Structure 1
Amino acid sequence: MERTTQYPGLLIAIEGTDGSGKTTQAELLKHYYLSRGVAVVVSACNTVELIRKAISDLKQQNYLDPVTFSFLYAADFVDRFEHQIIPALESGQLVIAEQYVYTVFSRAILRGIAPDWISNIFDFALVPAKTFYLDLPVETLLERLHWKTRQERFFDYYESGMDMNLSGRKKDSFVIYQRRLIEMYRELAKTHHMDTIDATAPIHRQQSTLRSRIDALLSAHRKENR
């Protein structure tokens, strides 16, 4: 993975489990910077319609094995990277990637994919100027999903890790899988020098922290590109 210093724009990423607040924080950042006259693009994963349909169909049939999963998400990322992220960086915009390659890394590695193998698939990707990891304990995640927990059918098969044979009950499997996923995110956060944000803190406090750190990154980036 290469650095982004050759582009006039700035790339940041926001990572975390589903329910950690990535979308909320990304949208708040977008409106904040647009109000300050900064051109912003929020880039989300799994947005290519054809690939998204293929992933959905395979998930419904429980045919999404780890290798196929990795290649499909890589294909989605290539399209997103070439048609959204790079053009925005070339035009000097702030790109906020809501989930980047590290989400695919964590889910693939948990399913037995070798870290070097999955990393090599994404070796063309750029290293964000900074990646923020929204850290949320599984207990808090369950509280946020409490209205779903009464009926197991609401738990997604793959987000519950049912393909990994962790438990016969979907809710129990969900807890085991999400706990392991959070630990994997924390390991990747250390390895890739991410900034960890306490996702249990009030939304406005998280947003304030993100803004101040991104402001500093933008200021430094502008000086480097004068």
Structure 2
Amino acid sequence: MPGLFLTLEGLDGAGKTTQAGRLAAFLEARGLPVLLTREPGGGLPGVRELVLKEALSPEAEYLLLSADRAEHVRKVLLPGLRRGQAVVSDRYLDSSLAYQGFGRGLPLPWLLEVAKGATLGLKPRLTFLLDLPPELALARVKDPDRLERLGPAFFQKVREGYLALAQAEPERFVVLDATRPEEEVARAIQAHLLPLLP
């Protein structure tokens, strides 16, 4: 596939949305066509509000997120990659594995089995994990949603989940210290990308 698929992951408050925007601008400045997108809500727009505001079981959360992801892959990500775009997504499957798997306690084999059908096997070329202690991440959140109100112990499990995923796939993950200034994090992302760019 001609395009380049990049994702940003991490706890709420880690700076993913900011860095996704900066990354898209960096790629555009180098002359690449860019598609900037995000989950949840990239495939089914109403899912984001539903998952973040309704009192749902972990299973319902994951299945709704998977339905959104299935549409996102088929209607946004794959078409963008086929057009040769650099696709930058603020969250993807790793978020669900970390939040609903490690955080909410759902079994990873089941999550991965559902994900196979939802994602058609699509994986990012690189995933930038913005790593941040939970107390710092939560302190940055201005208006906490339903998951963010689950507190530091939940977010510590999510963080440990992300780090376990990164350890399992070191060739895909780039773990960055999100306590560093925004500009430094952006430069680190760019430095890792340069060898992949034309």
Gap runs ≥5 in structure 2: none
Amino acid in structure 2 at the alignment position of 1:81? V
Residue by residue over 1:154-210, the C-alpha shift from the partner in whole angstroms, topping out at 9 and shown as x without a partner, is 54332233xxxxxxxxxxxx1111122111111111112211011011111111111
User: 2:153 aligned to 176, 181, 192, which one?
Assistant: 176
Distance 1:53 1:21 in 2: 20
Letter in 1 for 2:175: T
Tell me if structure 2 keeps the 8 A contact 1:160–1:177.
Answer: no
The percentage of aligned residue pairs carrying the same residue is: 30
Letter in 2 for 1:182: R
Whole-angstrom distance in 2 between the partners of 1:26 and 1:96? 7
Deviation, 1:216, is 1.2
Deviation (angstroms), 1:99: 0.5
Q: Partner of 1:13 in structure 2?
A: 7
Greater Rg, structure 1 or structure 2? 1
Does structure 1 residue 158 correspond to structure 2 residue 144? no
d(CA) in 2 for partners of 1:155 and 1:90?
Answer: 37
Which runs of structure 1 show a deviation greater than 4 angstroms over 4 or more consecutive aligned residues?
Answer: none
- Aligned-residue CA RMSD in angstroms? 1.7
SS of 1:118 mapped into structure 2: helix
Matched with 2:131 is 135
**CA-CA distance at 1:72 after TM superposition:** 0.2
Normalised by the length of structure 2, the TM-score is: 0.89
3-state DSSP of counterpart to 1:183: helix
CA contact (8 A) 1:43 1:80 kept: no
Who is 1:22 aligned against?
16
Q: Distance in 1 between matches of 2:184 and 2:194?
A: 15
**Contact conserved, 2:13 with 2:138, CA < 8 A, in 1?**
no
Q: Return the alpha-carbon distance in structure 2 between the equivalents of residues 99 and 85 of structure 1.
A: 12
- Tell me if structure 2 keeps the 8 A contact 1:129–1:217: no
Q: Paired residue for 1:33, among 16, 23, 27?
A: 27
Match of 1:105 in 2: 97
Q: Report the alpha carbon displacement of residue 215 of structure 1 after superposing the two structures with TM.
A: 1.8
State the distance in 2 between where 1:155 and 1:29 align.
26
Q: For the residues of structure 2 that align with 1:199 and 1:213, how far apart are their CA atoms?
A: 16
Q: Which runs of 5+ in 1 are unaligned?
A: 1-6, 149-153, 162-173, 220-226
Residue-by-residue CA offset, 1:99-155 (whole Å, 9 max, x unaligned): 11010111111322111110111112312111110000123224424xx5xxxxx54
Give the number of aligned pairs: 190
Change (3 A) 1:88 1:155: closer
Matched, 1:87 2:76: no
